[in-house]
Structure 1
């Protein structure tokens, strides 16, 4: 931000103002106490706002301004604090939309809590395994909100916040991130039914399977080519025909849900993970596509 700072156009509350910015024209500036004792035409030096959030996208600005009157001012302040924490620990820039989406989500979560409505999160364990860094950040966020707002948001909310954080880091809508998590959860359920097993969620084999499914979905969405190791597919078909068939069923489900073709090589890698899951060892560790584990 340039040294000339910004000029207050309108104070929305103690923590949010509309300001004229030298680079972005009119912006929404969010930060603890930024609007306290301010009035239109006041100038705020750049050093006073260097750790604050500035919404420059026109759509995001309008949505946030509409949201502000509906949210308790104390919650706005707490959300500023936790989103700053997220930005400092995410390791990547955050999409601006997190200010709207996460604030709105938490406000409704608190309202539901007051009404005695508690949402279940059947994919909480999967979410923790798929996005461990985001989950750790989300755990801090929920603890902070519970402490500062004197509420008791349930552990399920950690999973929901994790998806918001991951979406903001990857520039993907939360609905899309949530869709992938649900798909993975359904695939795990399908594996258990088809293989007549109950998967031990604490094993390394399960963690690896989850990560593989996540990367397989992402590869499919990116239309990334996956090559099958020479002759491995034929070998697995002969030695593990039933498991290979289940892997193909999983592929077909992914293909139908993602509305995109899934490379046949994915069946080979899925078969290897399913075998490892049954054997609970790493005896079939093979070369996997880049980025997989």
Structure 2
């Protein structure tokens, strides 16, 4: 049995059990509840322990930034995925998938469709994860009355693939970390503004850069994309695109490798999002 310390929203509550603080969530678990009330263990669908854990802190940030419906949808997707795959996923999937779905719906509502250039590869080489991605896309479209594009099945599958491998030790981890750090510092410097590194928007930005680096070293960069969308983003977000081009110059100089316009488009969208939210936070 756990005792509620704070109701964060209808799906997420902060509790204390055996002297430790935990974040637990489940559909409707916080509805009608107040501080001091108890929750039976069989009411809890997922626990995050301890609160000091960075993933838990990210989840707490998401509570304020994302509608509770995304918690419920993500929980249903993860439960389906673990049953379908026959193995548990890393807890990070709750953060990355919730955030991705929220951002995907935002893009769909604004009519921005960024094509996934590894759609065929994911569909062919990861059929189970792609099937779950299709299930998730259908679920989101129905629950939120939106219309996520077909590519989202592959995008969601990518998060599931990553959640299965995230505990593995990678021999190239330092190489990846170095490139992520260099790109992030370059962008922060080019923006010429103070960035709140504790904000959820900064965490989202870092997540995208990590995925970019993974694609870079796997030789799976998105390319041969939509020239019109690239030009549209360049006009709409000139400062962000300027920063994206600085990343292109850096990668070309250090790694002697071209960054396609598709990647610049996607990177600029995330940089602009970071910039806008940072101004609002300030």
Q: Aligned partners of 2:38 and 2:65: how far apart in 1?
A: 27
Deviation at 1:174, TM superposition (A): 8.3
Decide which moves more: 36-45 or 71-80. Answer: 71-80
Q: Which of residues 140, 156, 160 in structure 1 aligns to 2:155?
A: 160
**Equivalents in 2 of 1:184, 1:126: separation in Å?**
12
User: How far is 1:69 from its partner?
Assistant: 1.2
* TM-score, length of structure 2 as denominator length: 0.59
What SS does structure 2 have at the residue aligned with 1:120?
Answer: coil
CA RMSD of aligned residues (A): 2.6
Question: Residues 29-50 of structure 1, C-alpha deviation per residue, up to 9 Å, x if partnerless?
Answer: 111011011111111111222x
1:22 deviates by 2.8
Residue-by-residue CA offset, 1:142-168 (whole Å, 9 max, x unaligned): 111111111111111111111100111
* 1:18 to 2:11 alignment: no
User: For the structure 1 residues 145 and 161, does the alpha-carbon distance in structure 2 shift closer, same or farther, using more than 3 Å as the test?
Assistant: same
Unaligned runs of 5+ in 2: 168-206, 225-254, 257-282
What SS class does the counterpart of residue 89 from structure 1 fall into? helix
Aligned equivalent of 1:106: 101
Render the CA deviation track for 1:206-253: whole Å, top value 9, x for unaligned. xxxxxxxxxxxxxxxxxxxxxxxxxxxxxxxxxxxxxxxxxxxxxxxx
Offset, 1:175: 6.7
Structure 2 CA distance for aligned equivalents of residues 12 and 105 of structure 1: 21
Larger Cα Rg: Structure 1 or Structure 2? 1
Pairwise mapping of residues 131-150 of structure 1 onto structure 2 (< 5 A)?
Answer: 131-150=126-145
Question: Equivalents in 2 of 1:105, 1:99: separation in Å?
Answer: 10
The runs of at least 4 consecutive aligned structure 1 residues that moved more than 4 Å come to 172-182
Equivalent of 1:56 in 37, 49, 56: 49
The size of the alignment, in residue pairs, is 184
Q: Deviation at 1:133?
A: 1.2
* Distance of 2:122 and 2:69 partners within structure 1: 29
**Structure 1 residues 94 and 109: alpha-carbon distance in aligned structure 2, compared to 1, 3 A threshold:** same
Q: Alignment partner of 1:86: what SS?
A: helix
Query: Counterpart of 1:8 in 2: which secondary structure?
Result: strand
Shift of 1:75: 2.5
8 A Cα contact 1:8 1:20, kept in partner: yes
1:243 is aligned to none
Tell me, which stretches of 5 or more residues in structure 1 are unaligned?
Answer: 190-255, 258-293
Q: What is the aligned partner in structure 1 of residue 244 from structure 2?
A: none
